[in-house]
Amino acid sequence: MFHKSMNFVFFAVVLSAIPCLAEPPFQDLTYDAALKAAAKDEKIVVIDFYTTWCGPCKMLDKTTWKDKDVIAWFKDKAVGLKIDAEKEKALAKKFKINSYPTIILLKPDGNEIDRLTGYRDAEQFLADANAALSGKDSLSRAKTAAEESPTDFKARMTYGRELAQRGRNKEALKELLWCFDEGEKHNPSYSGVRISFLLGDIVRLGGNYPPALEALRERRKQNEKHVLAHFDKSSAAGKGKAAKKKKGAIGRFLEDVRSAESDELRERACDAVYISNNLGESDRAIGFYDKLRAIGEDAKPLRARMMFILFDTLADARRYKDIMADGGDPLEEIDQAIAMWNMEKTLYKKDKVRGKEMEAMRRGYTIQSIARNYEVLVGAGEFDDADKAAKKLLEFEKSAQSYSALIKCARRARSLELAEELAREAQRNLPEDERDKVITAEELAGDSDEEDSPDNRSPPTKNRLQCPGNRRQAAPINWRQTNEPSATATAAHPNL
């Protein structure tokens, strides 16, 4: 028995010493060894910098790197390496890797030929790589595209990104700010990209180039000032004699003007909050909202239109009653979220490459969004509706993920009692292999800064769940609430 155990240990040790073989087109070589191999064979080195959590990186593995033409190209022209940027930190720092995937093309002496960021299918990768070998790197190609189409959002944004990748920060900021200030006027379909990917790019640029952050804060300041000045002006005008409503063509013209002003106010107000959210300055977003609340009913329509952006910020601050006052009906929002999911999942089934991954991600967003609205209802003391919201979520998906989301949100709403009930219900209703995955109320004990304060949101006894599945959350999954792009936006702009 002793000898068998020793043999097993020896065999395991030997196996652990054998390196994990890289799959073509990549090789099991160190960086220095790859440069030597490239010099010997008169090839270049191609490094795919990835992370284990990066969705586009996984898509490269499933598609581009398995393509026979790509594998043949590597065999003829390149020594390929796959580098986990979070493990090989020194090498990632050497090449200033700040987004994933980043594909670096190198000469055998280590000098950079080009870098390609983001997902590319096989055809696009080969086109870009061959162009780089012919002397036209991604920066020069992006510059040409931007010059040939100066009002094209994607071309200008791509050029800005390429400049930022190379540390040409001032020029990069100029391109990215044009996209933010002017791009949507010429490219309306990029509105979602503008307030998500683009703002994220500018904030990341600001990490190395502070004028980028200053530019965003100045735009926020001007937008807030414009919105508040509008209500000051309206208030002053309202003190005079009310004007009679015009009829006919003049009346319709004035209505159009008022409608345009309303749209501009909404866009400016939303931009101000988007900027605060991306800068991580939630106090500023809440401060702006509070100024609009102080205006009263005149600003209520605007506050309502801003709520989809402010929802998470206000929920994080436990401003549940404000959300209820200015937002929509959480139960209707849940129904809309589920309807949106049912519509979008048909798109995922058509996408054989990314469909399953996108579906899982989107389902998770839907669950979390519904749970946040459950939190709002509990926090606002609307326990009957909270029960209905919980039931809707469990009907959508009865899983450890759904129960955990509900438990966490009940705990955040300072209702330890509801969190504990949900945990017990999960143990009763879930299959055995799912039960251990459910987070417990005790694990979240530090999440609430007030354990059992007078403000603790526990429903009165008569409102306690009468049936097991009758208390959960509510909230429509709105991609704008989660600050994530919608599936349709991602599908339309997969390389952003």
Closest CA to 108 of 197, 34, 194: 34
**Amino acid present at 446:** G
Please check whether residues 475 and 335 belong to one and the same domain.
Answer: yes
pLDDT for position 356: 81
What is the tally of structural domains in the chain?
A: 4
Last residue of a domain, one of 325, 356, 390: 325
Please indicate, yes or no, whether residues 352 and 303 belong to a single structural domain of this protein: no
Question: Does residue 69 belong to any structural domain of this protein?
Answer: yes
Can you read off the two tokens belonging to residue 346?
A: 């048909």
In the structure, what pLDDT confidence band is assigned to residue 382 with cuts at 50, 70 and 90?
Answer: very high
Residue 453 is predicted with a pLDDT of 44
Q: Render the burial of 55-73: b for 16+ CB within 10 Å, e for the rest.
A: ebbbbbeebbbebeebbeb
C-alpha to C-alpha distance for 246 and 252, rounded to whole angstroms: 8
In whole angstroms, give the CA distance from residue 100 to residue 85: 9
- Specify whether 179 is located in the same domain as 129: no
Average pLDDT in the 476-483 region?
Answer: 31
The bridge status of strand 78-84 relative to strand 44-50 is: parallel
Shared-domain flag, residues 223 and 290? yes
pLDDT at residue 2, rounded to an integer: 39
Query: Cβ(366)–Cβ(337) under 8 Å?
Result: yes
CATH of the domain at 123: 3.40.30.10
- Residue 200, Cα to own-chain centre: how many angstroms? 9
pTM value is 0.77
pLDDT value for 278: 96
Catalytic residue numbers, as ranges: 54, 57
Pick the residue with more confidence: 260 or 322? 322
Could you tell me the strand order of the sheet in which 78-84 lies? 78-84, 44-50, 102-106, 112-117
Task: Give 141's contacts (C-beta < 8 A, 6+ positions apart).
Answer: 128, 131
Report yes or no on 164 lying in a domain.
Answer: yes
Q: How confident is the model at residue 252 (pLDDT cuts 50, 70, 90)?
A: very low
**Does residue 443 carry a pLDDT above 80?**
no
Q: Which domain holds residue 78?
A: 19-136
In this model, does residue 311 exceed pLDDT 50? yes
Residue 271 lies in a domain: yes
Read off the pLDDT of residues 11-55 as tens digits, 9 standing for 90 and up.
Answer: 333 333 334 467 899 999 999 999 999 999 999 999 999 999 998
- From 136, 161, 177, give the residue that closes a domain: 136
* Residues 199 and 314 grouped into a single domain: no
* Structure-token match 């009002």, residue found: 151
pLDDT (average), residues 59-64: 93
141: in domain? no
Instruction: State the average pLDDT over residues 51-67.
Output: 92
| Distances, alpha carbon 469 to alpha carbons 132, 204, 239, in Å | 59, 43, 54
> 48-62, 74-88, 233-247, 304-318: lowest mean pLDDT where?
233-247
For 401-432, b/e burial (b = at least 16 CB within 10 A) is bbbbbbbbbbbbbbbbbbbbbbbebbeeebee
Same domain as 447, residue 348: yes
Averaged pLDDT, 105-120:
94
Alpha-carbon torsion (221, 224, 226, 228), positive or negative: negative
Q: Which of left, alpha, beta for 398 (phi over 0: left; psi -120 to 50: alpha)?
A: beta
* Residue among 80, 24, 82, 79 at smallest CA distance from 48: 82
Q: Does residue 317 sit in the same domain as residue 335?
A: no
Please check the confidence at residue 368 and state whether its pLDDT lies above 50. Answer: yes
Would residue 335 count as lying in a domain?
yes
Could you tell me if 162 and 107 lie in one domain? no
Kind and range of the H or E run holding 333: helix 330-350
Give dist(CA 132, CA 489) in Å, integer: 29
CA distance 350 to 338: 19
The reply to whether 320 and 336 lie within a common domain is: no
Which residues on adjacent β-strands are paired with residue 83?
Answer: 49
The pLDDT-based confidence of 262 (bands split at 50, 70, 90) is confident
DSSP string, 58-107: HHHHHTGGG-HHHHHHHHHHEEEEEEETTTSHHHHHHTT--SSSEEEEE-
Cβ-contact 104, 46 below 8 angstroms:
yes
In a domain, 4, yes or no: no
The pLDDT of residue 22:
78
The last residue of a domain, from among 325, 355, 378: 325
| 110 found inside a domain | yes
Q: Which amino acid is at 66?
A: K
Is the residue at 13 inside a domain?
no
Same-domain status, 168 and 218: no
* 70 and 98 in a common domain: yes
Q: pLDDT class for 376, splitting at 50, 70, 90? A: very high
Phi then psi dihedrals of residue 105, to 5 deg: -105, 125
| Band of residue 263 on the pLDDT scale cut at 50, 70, 90 | confident
Q: Is the pLDDT of residue 197 over 90?
A: yes
In terms of domains, do 271 and 380 share one? no
CA dihedral sign, ordered 260, 275, 365, 386: negative
Q: Return the percentage of the chain with pLDDT > 90, whole number.
A: 70
